[in-house]
Amino acid sequence: MTKSNQPKSSSTISLSTKCNGWGMGKDLDEKNCPISCVDFQAKYQKFGAYFYNPPKQEGAQKTITLTFDNGYENGFTEKILDTLDKKQVKAVFFLTGDYAKKNAPIIEKMVSKNHVLGNHSQTHPSMPGISVEKMKSEIQTLHKTIMEKFGVEMTLFRPPKGEFSEQSLAVTQEMGYKSIFWSFAYADWDPKKQPDENEALNSLKSHLHDGAIYLLHTVSQTNANILADFIDHAKSQGYEFIVQMQQ
């Protein structure tokens, strides 16, 4: 795991351990981006944290980053992968240790299609609620598993539950990772309470903004069914789908 230009372990001791819960809020700027994303990006970018994916320069093609959280398999990930392949779009899939253990063929398909594997921790704990040693173990255990099984060295981390502290962000950075939050998410994670497809699609469309990071869950049948239409709409509005963090 890379550690260049990153804080030493001792430097994390004095950092705040206060737990912050991330939610992008409803207030938007003139570009339709949540104001909280811009504010938090400015505050925490020194720790390698991304709350949206800031555009490189004014006037460049608008971008969106699709990310999926994979806590467990519910039978829809392969349909999502097939749609992404058909539409020639790459995405980031954030995996937990349990998912990596039980779903090797699906992960192999992700890798074969050149999607990005992200680290969502080994056991999905709230990072601010555990020791520094445990934080490192949560990241490194899954990192090692993915490297050994699939030959992929992950560099993107999504904090479980969207909870973080200055200390947990610094530890994550020290482990060679960027912390990836989101600038759009909605209630898609409960298989028994799936959102209406038309309402969900309209929500995804109406929240488009340059540098958007969308958080979706692969357990959602709604997401699997509306993904192709959403991709077509975003492309029609001039958006390019990317997986690189631009700053």
Cα–Cα distance, 39 to 103 (Å, whole number):
37
DSSP 3-state percent helix, strand, coil across the chain (nearest 5): 40, 15, 40
In degrees and rounded to multiples of 5, residue 187 shows phi and psi of -75, 85
The active-site residue out of 69, 115, 207, 210 is: 69
User: What are 184's strand-pairing partners?
Assistant: 214
Kind plus residue range of the DSSP H or E element containing 233: helix 221-236
Going by C-alpha positions, the residue among 89, 117, 230 that lies closest to residue 177 is 117
The answer to whether residue 217 is catalytic is: yes
The answer to whether residue 210 is catalytic is: no
**Assigned token pair, 44:** 């925490």
The active-site residue out of 39, 120, 217, 232 is: 217
Q: Which residues carry out catalysis? A: 69, 217
